Structure 1
Amino acid sequence: MGRIEGAMGEFRAAIDRGASPNELAEKVSVLDGLFDDAEAALAPDAATEASTFLGAFTILLREGLEALLIVVAMIAFLRKAERGEALRYVHGGWISALVAGGITWVVATYAIGISGASRELTEGFGSLFAAVVLLSVGIWMHGKAQADQWQRYIREKMSRALTGGSGWFLFGLAFVVVYREVFETILFYAALWSQGNGPVLLAGAGSAVLLLAVIAWAMLRYSRTLPITQFFRYSSWLMAILTVVLAGKGVSALQEAGIIAIAPLRDVPRLSILGLFPTWQSVLAQLLMAVAIAIGFAWNRRGDRGRASAH
């Protein structure tokens, strides 16, 4: 899949720069070969029980882990802040995303087809929205990594009940980060389901869910015993990393949907788990996010030094 997406990107870039018909024909030939390989790999008679199980397991684990990290960080934060009443918004968000995903599965299977462009648009805009939100959350958490800062925040802000607007913001963030992963997983699973081996696919998905549940339990258990300053420091860096990853994924998805132009970077590897794709636009988006994070963290440290000198 990665090779096909890369070849498609190069083909679009060649069209945009006005490549010669011969060059375009060569790229079309390469794509035809890749499509033939993909069709052979996805053919029902090519699917074994082992490949179906492994595919279902790895797809759900890969897609689910990213959303899990964000949702667990939100839950851990609310517990640290002793705002248990706000947890229902987070739980409502991710549960609603799963329900919406189930509805999407039914609609995509029995009612209408979901195009690749629709999938990429959903993933692209969802990723960029989550990246912007996590950027602000990460910088905010980094600023509260000092005990006195946290205590001041508790006194000034958290002593008041969480407003309905803030609660629905948590709901929306949890919904978006989970649904964008569910949406993509559904399309992969639809292809696997068409190969047969349905029980094996469900077994692979169930195994991935079990592993994700264990990871979530371990993270929440560890976060309970983590001192508040370390919790905010580690969480801020986690948010920063996810911000950069999502920025790259969002731009890449919008490129595949034809919304953003493609300028290939041949020397950059394709590491989708890190949101790294060989195009100028996606790499630039990640660099901009990294710079924004660095500026935000530096501003926080400057403020800490200023308050320390004042005392």
Structure 2
Amino acid sequence: AVFNPDLKARLENQIWNGQHPQGLAALIRARAPLADFRETHAELQATLKEVAGVLGTEVAPAAVATNAGIIVFREGLEAVLILAALMGSLRRGDAVRLRRPMWLGAAGAFAATAVTWVIMQGALSLLGRYGEKLEAVVSVIAIGVLLLIMNWFFHQVYWTDRMASFQKHKHELAHGPQARTAARAQWWGLAVLGFTSIYREGFETVLFLQSLVLQAGAGAVLGGTAAGLVAVLGVGAAVFRYQARLPMKKLLIQTGGLICAVLAVMVGNTVHTLQLVGWLPVHPLPLDLPAWMGLWFGLHGTWEGVVLQVASVVAVIGSFYAAEALKERELRAKRGAAAIPS
């Protein structure tokens, strides 16, 4: 996954559910003839020799540092997009204060990532065994919280007219016990969202970097990691600065698109991880997808992944249009009530 994503995808296809040639798992499931097994076995042996050559090659520290920097930048860029998408709608009035718990959650995720690095260095073999399962659990939590918070966005932040109708109750609600309980739950929900969204990227990055550490030691990897972090911070500053100058309507459209895109990638990668650990069934598509589609878009060539990605995007778009329809219905009801003579 670190040194040659295309080779990793080819190996997975040959072992599991590839089509050209068919993967071993697919052949076993179909009770295929022996000739088909021999064809796949020959291809698999050739691929394994290629893998051994890649993993057995001595790598210069500069190359390792470059690879580490690329990995950190790629995962960090996704984290920046997540924060930009989620915080872009929190710029209006009282909603601005809701950025703080998300920043705190993100900072906690950064600290947890550093702790994970230390733990993995001390117990690499143990965590390496359960790494994908832990990543799967964190991913499912992140997706669940993200869906809940997006639903809240569409019903509270995007609905500016509906929010305005409750302003007259603001003082009373702000001092009541229900308001304090709801605000506390909201604060923790946003903090958990910031943490899980970023820690998923941090955990995956640390997991990838461990193989580089085994190749060339921690020094070169940490140097590349530092360079990647500097690049991520620079891009992040530019993204948030540009975002702050956008008109609100345009900002809402763009952040909504970002949320959909990030959610689709998260769902695709999470489904792939759940399938790798055996927690979801696998029904392959009738074609092999290139590795870069899985790397950048979370598309891994199974019906489960594609269907759940589409379903997640439809759920987000459907929630938005349902919110808009309810708002229009409320406005029509108000106009009808105002038109009735007293």
TM-score exceeds 0.5: yes
Structure-1 residue corresponding to 2:118? 106
Q: Structure 1 pair 237/133, CA: closer, same or farther in 2 (3 Å)?
A: farther
The secondary structure found in structure 2 opposite 1:35 is: helix
- Does structure 1 residue 215 correspond to structure 2 residue 228? no
Amino acid in structure 1 at the alignment position of 2:279? I
Please give the per-residue CA displacement for 1:66-86, whole angstroms capped at 9, x wherever unaligned.
Answer: 222223344444454445655
Q: Say whether 1:278 aligns with 2:301.
A: yes
Distance 1:35 1:91, change over 3 A: farther
Instruction: Report the equivalent of 2:21.
Output: none
Matched, 1:182 2:202: yes
Instruction: Say if 2:201 is the partner of 1:201.
Output: no
User: C-alpha distance in 2, partners of 1:152/1:65?
Assistant: 38
Separation in 1, partners of 2:167, 2:130:
43
Aligned residues: 310
Confirm or deny: 8 A CA contact 1:101 1:186 kept in the other structure: yes
| Matching residue's letter, 2:281 | A
Q: What SS does the aligned partner of 2:240 have?
A: helix
* Cα deviations by residue, 1:92-148 (Å, 9 ceiling, x for unpaired): 322322332233223322235146663322333333333333334445434544542
Deviates more, 1:163-172 or 1:250-259: 163-172
Note if 1:8 corresponds to 2:29.
no
- Whole-angstrom CA distance in 2 between matches of 1:266 and 1:116: 32
Q: 3-state SS of the aligned residue for 2:125? A: coil
> Alpha-carbon deviation of 1:39?
2.9
Asked if structure 1 preserves the Cα contact closer than 8 Å seen for 2:265 and 2:309, the reply is: yes
1:206 to 1:263, Cα distance in 2 relative to 1, 3 A:
same
What is the distance in 1 between the residues matched to 2:168 and 2:133? 42
| Residue of structure 1 in register with 2:103 after alignment | 91
Instruction: Find the aligned partners of 1:156 and 1:127 in 2 and give their Cα distance.
Output: 38
Task: Say whether the 8 Å CA contact 2:145–2:189 is kept in structure 1.
Answer: no
- In the alignment, the residues of structure 2 paired with residue 114 and residue 14 of structure 1 have an alpha-carbon distance, to the nearest angstrom, of 32
In the alignment, is the contact (CA less than 8 A) between 1:9 and 1:262 conserved in 2? Answer: no
Q: 1:150 to 1:66 in 2, by over 3 A?
A: farther
Q: Amino acid of the residue matched to residue 276 of structure 1?
A: L
1:21 Cα deviation after fit: 5.3
Q: Does 1:134 align with 2:124?
A: no
In the alignment, residue 306 of structure 2 is paired with which amino acid? V
Task: Indicate whether 1:122 and 2:134 are aligned.
Answer: yes
Q: CA deviation at 1:242?
A: 1.5
Read off the aligned partner of 1:5 and give its amino acid letter. Answer: E
Q: Please, which of 53, 71, 78 is the counterpart of residue 65 of structure 2? A: 53
**1:11-38 per-position Cα deviation (integer Å, ceiling 9, x unaligned):** 3333344445554454344334333323
TM-score by length of 2: 0.77
- The aligned amino acid for 1:170 is L
Q: Does structure 1 conserve the Cα–Cα contact (< 8 Å) formed by 2:275 and 2:281?
A: yes
CA–CA distance in structure 2, aligned partners of residues 154 and 204 of structure 1: 51
Match 1:38 to one of 48, 51, 60: 51
After superposition, the CA RMSD in angstroms is 3.0
Deviates more, 1:48-57 or 1:112-121: 112-121
Residue 76 of structure 2 aligns with which residue? 64
Deviation (angstroms), 1:252: 0.8
Q: Are 2:120 and 2:127, in contact at CA under 8 Å, matched by a contact in 1?
A: no
Q: Distance in 2 between matches of 1:157 and 1:132?
A: 29
Matched, 1:303 2:323: no
Question: Matches of 2:245 and 2:311 in 1, distance apart?
Answer: 34
Q: 1:13 is matched by which residue type in structure 2?
A: A
Q: Alpha carbons of 1:103 and 1:34: their partners in 2 closer, same or farther (altered >3 Å)?
A: farther
Q: CA deviation at 1:278?
A: 0.6
Gaps of at least 5 residues in structure 2 are 1-7, 18-23, 175-179, 336-342
Aligned-residue identity in percent: 26
Structure-1 separation of matches of 2:288 and 2:332? 45
Structure 1, unpaired ranges of 5+: none
Number of the residue aligned with 1:238: 258
Distance 1:148 1:217 in 2: 31
Distance 1:140 1:87, change over 3 A: closer
CA contact (8 A) 1:61 1:209 kept: yes
Change (3 A) 1:155 1:100: farther
Question: Does residue 289 of structure 1 match 2:312?
Answer: yes
Q: Distance in 1 between matches of 2:73 and 2:137?
A: 22
